[in-house]
């Protein structure tokens, strides 16, 4: 009989960006836990919280509940990168997702100017402050990207309340591969791009169009869909609906995932996951080799020969689909193995 866990969603202002993260949690626990949604913390129960601690009042409630109901168990799922803020090698502090881009420095300057003026810092830094404030009440800490763990383990090693070292959690695919193959067989050649259309992504897609034109392609080759164009995850009283079956029906065969900017240093496993769940083949413009899910994606290298190869799939895509579905099966084996640390931590917590 499966045990019970509650996935908290009420700490998020919007559910539009957490569907893939929720899927990651639920799929990794599907054989041992029945995961139910909850808008509020369940005292005395196992609560799984996707990182969003920007509201100080929520952090206070989170900590207070643990004091008043000590049997309450918390799993925090970290989604952001803890990064140092350094100048000439001197570390000034830490925050979330500081990669040295112009916008990062602007946020840092703004945070310095508002400090001590009864104003909140920038959103990501407020999230970092709240996240670190919540760790003393956490029991199990997991993260969705292996690279997040590098800094997370260092930042949390002084917290004896954690029942085990922070562990990575991988999404597992449990959709019928035969049904997925049928869907992929009918999609037209082209690329869907979801999410924010940054300047770098726009340049990448303009270059893609020119490459396909040089290969003799004279039809539309890509379409952008913002997150607002798709139905977000729905949390009911007892169930969670992801709506992937409704979101990807009219899409192209490929779903391309360029980084937000040219200097972005990590892969985006949640974007690759979303592409696959929409019934499309994920395509990336760079392989970072930092997450196993990259292995199910194709690489777009801006070569005319690659464009010609992709056009051929309009006539015959049997080999492509066999390789893709095989890569999902291989990935699933690895993901289940990697998730053992998470499951072992939960077993230790509930023993």
The pTM assigned to this predicted structure is 0.91
At residue 116, the pLDDT reads: 55
At residue 241, the pLDDT reads: 82
The b-or-e profile of 219-241 (16+ CB within 10 A means b, else e) is: eebbeebeeeebebbebeeeebe
For 96-135, write each residue's pLDDT tens digit.
Answer: 888 777 777 777 776 665 565 556 788 889 999 999 999 9
Query: d(Cα 125, Cα 143) in Å, to the nearest integer?
Result: 18
* Residue 53 pLDDT exceeds 90: yes
| Share of residues in the chain with pLDDT > 90 (%) | 70
At residue 118, the pLDDT reads: 58
At residue 196, the pLDDT reads: 87
Instruction: Measure CA of the first residue to CA of the last residue in the chain; give whole Å.
Output: 16
At residue 112, the pLDDT reads: 62
The closest of 43, 40, 42 to 12, measured between CA atoms, is 40
At residue 100, the pLDDT reads: 75
Choose between 227 and 137: higher pLDDT. 137
Q: With 0-12 CB in 10 A as exposed, 13-18 as middle and 19+ as buried, what is 164?
A: middle
For 79-91, write each residue's pLDDT tens digit.
Answer: 999 988 877 777 7
Mean pLDDT (the chain, rounded): 90
* Residue 11 pLDDT exceeds 90: yes
* Residue 27 pLDDT exceeds 60: yes
CATH fold match for the domains 3-172+334-350 and 177-230+244-331: yes
At residue 89, the pLDDT reads: 77
Tell the CATH topology of 177-230+244-331.
Answer: Rossmann fold (3.40.50)
Non-local (6+) Cβ contacts of 168 within 8 A are 142, 143, 144, 145, 146, 148, 149, 338, 341, 342
* Residue 249 pLDDT exceeds 70: no
| Share of residues in the chain with pLDDT > 70 (%) | 93
* Residue 225 pLDDT exceeds 60: yes
Tell the CATH topology of 3-172+334-350.
Answer: Rossmann fold (3.40.50)
For 178-216, write each residue's pLDDT tens digit.
Answer: 778 888 999 999 999 988 899 999 999 999 999 999 999
At residue 251, the pLDDT reads: 86
Domain boundaries, the chain: 3-172+334-350, 177-230+244-331
* Residue 282 pLDDT exceeds 60: yes
Average pLDDT (151-176) is 92
């Amino acid at each position: 009989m499966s045990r019970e866990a509650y996935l908290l969603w009420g700490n998020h202002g919007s559910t539009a960006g957490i569907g893939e993260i929720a899927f990651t949690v639920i799929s990794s626990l599907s054989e041992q836990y029945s995961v139910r949604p909850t808008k509020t913390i369940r005292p005395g129960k196992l609560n799984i919280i996707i990182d969003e601690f920007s509201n100080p009042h929520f952090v206070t409630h989170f900590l207070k509940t643990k004091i008043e109901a000590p049997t309450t168990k918390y799993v925090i799922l970290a989604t952001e990168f803890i990064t140092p803020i350094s100048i000439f090698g001197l570390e000034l502090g830490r925050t979330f997702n500081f990669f040295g881009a112009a916008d990062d420095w602007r946020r840092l300057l703004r945070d310095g100017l508002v400090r001590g003026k009864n104003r909140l810092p920038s959103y990501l830094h407020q999230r970092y402050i709240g996240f670190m404030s919540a760790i003393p009440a956490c029991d199990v800490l997991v993260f969705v990207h292996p690279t997040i763990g590098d800094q997370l383990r260092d930042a949390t090693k002084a917290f004896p309340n954690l029942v085990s070292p922070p562990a990575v959690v991988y999404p597992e695919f449990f959709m019928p591969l035969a049904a997925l193959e049928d869907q992929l067989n009918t999609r037209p050649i082209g690329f869907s791009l979801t999410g924010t259309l940054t300047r770098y992504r726009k340049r990448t897609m303009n270059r893609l169009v020119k490459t396909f034109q040089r290969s003799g392609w004279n039809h539309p080759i890509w379409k952008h869909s913002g997150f607002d164009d798709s139905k977000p995850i729905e949390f009911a009283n007892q169930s969670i609906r992801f709506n992937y079956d409704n979101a990807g029906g009219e899409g192209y065969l490929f779903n391309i995932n360029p980084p937000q900017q040219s200097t972005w240093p990590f892969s985006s496993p949640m974007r690759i996951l979303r592409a696959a769940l929409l019934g499309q083949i994920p395509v990336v413009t760079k392989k970072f080799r930092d997450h196993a899910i990259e292995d199910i994606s194709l690489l777009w290298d801006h070569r005319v020969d690659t464009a010609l190869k992709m056009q051929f799939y309009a006539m015959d895509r049997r080999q492509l689909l066999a390789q893709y579905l095989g890569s999902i099966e291989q990935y699933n084996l690895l993901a289940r193995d990697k998730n053992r640390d998470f499951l072992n931590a939960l077993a230790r917590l509930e023993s």
